């Protein structure tokens, strides 16, 4: 029983873990691509570092804002649905109980048992029963805008800090190959983690992330070299 309880909690956290991994992935890709573009334009080491820090701050704020707006919209939709359901329960409790019983019948319960279960759940927490089984809204999966915004900003910032650390530690003349190698290594690790969390092939996850990330960095470096200076 204890093992099953732990497995349930793991499933509840998969969505947040996957979002955190993807946020860190975005931080690495966007910041390393920005650094490579500026470095390929023959900027100074200080200018590269400033550009990277600016990219980290701007990206983290953008992620937080976008996530907050998106999840707040979901929260508003959930609240409106719950208000409507609450009004329907007040106006027609018997009809709502029948509706709940029909849901359980569709899931495989015998009609008499479904009626008994619906009546018991309605007596205990009518709105909770309908929000979960009719609307699909649960405490574990309900929208939390501030939590989502903070998680996205933090995971992006952590990912973006990794290529910035390379800029701080590696000499200027070795910066481009070091950024490419380190970023692909970080991204491969995150791709494998995301695949493992989702139960997918780790090898495919690593190769997919590495390929598209390398393409992004190559495009940024190419643009920097094309429009940069030789000063």
Average pLDDT over residues 175-188: 88
In this predicted structure, the answer to whether residue 225 has a pLDDT above a threshold of 70 is yes
pLDDT in tens, 68-117: 888 888 888 888 888 888 888 888 888 888 888 888 888 888 888 888 88
Q: Please state the domain extents for the chain.
A: 2-227
pLDDT in tens, 190-206: 777 777 766 667 777 67
Give the 3-state DSSP-derived string for the chain, with helices as H, strands as E and coil as C.
Answer: CHHHHHHHHHHHHHHHHHHHHHHHHHHHHHHHHHHHHHHHCCCCHHHHHHHHHHHHHHHHHHHHHHHHHHHHHHHHHHHHHHHHHHHHHHHCHHHHHHHHHHHHHHCCCCHHHHHHHHHHHHHHHHHHHHHHHCCCCCCCCCCCHHHHHHHHHHHHHHHHHHHHHHHHHCCHHHHHHHHHHHHHHHHHHHHHHHHHHHCCCHHHHHHHHHHHHHHHHHHHHHHHHHHCCCC
């Amino acid at each position: 029983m204890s093992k099953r309880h732990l497995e349930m909690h793991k499933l509840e956290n998969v969505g947040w873990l996957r979002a955190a991994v993807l946020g860190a992935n975005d931080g690495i890709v966007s910041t390393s691509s920005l650094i490579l573009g500026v470095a390929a334009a023959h900027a100074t080491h200080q200018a590269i570092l400033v550009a990277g820090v600016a990219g980290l701050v701007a990206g983290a704020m953008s992620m937080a804002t976008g996530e907050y707006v998106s999840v707040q919209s979901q929260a508003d939709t959930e609240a409106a649905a719950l208000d409507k359901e609450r009004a329907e329960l007040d106006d027609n409790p018997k009809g709502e109980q029948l509706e709940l019983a029909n849901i359980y019948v569709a899931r495989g319960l015998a009609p008499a048992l479904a009626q008994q279960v619906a009546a018991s759940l309605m007596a205990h927490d009518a709105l909770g029963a309908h929000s979960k089984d009719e609307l699909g809204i649960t405490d574990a999966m309900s929208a939390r805008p501030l939590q989502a915004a903070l998680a996205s900003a933090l995971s992006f910032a952590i990912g973006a800090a990794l290529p910035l650390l390379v800029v701080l530690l590696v000499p200027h003349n070795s910066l481009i190959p070091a950024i490419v190698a380190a970023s692909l290594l970080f991204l491969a690790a995150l791709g494998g983690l995301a695949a493992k969390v989702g139960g997918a092939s780790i090898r495919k996850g690593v190769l997919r992330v590495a390929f598209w990330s390398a393409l992004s960095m190559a495009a940024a470096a190419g643009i920097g070299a094309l429009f940069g200076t030789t000063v």
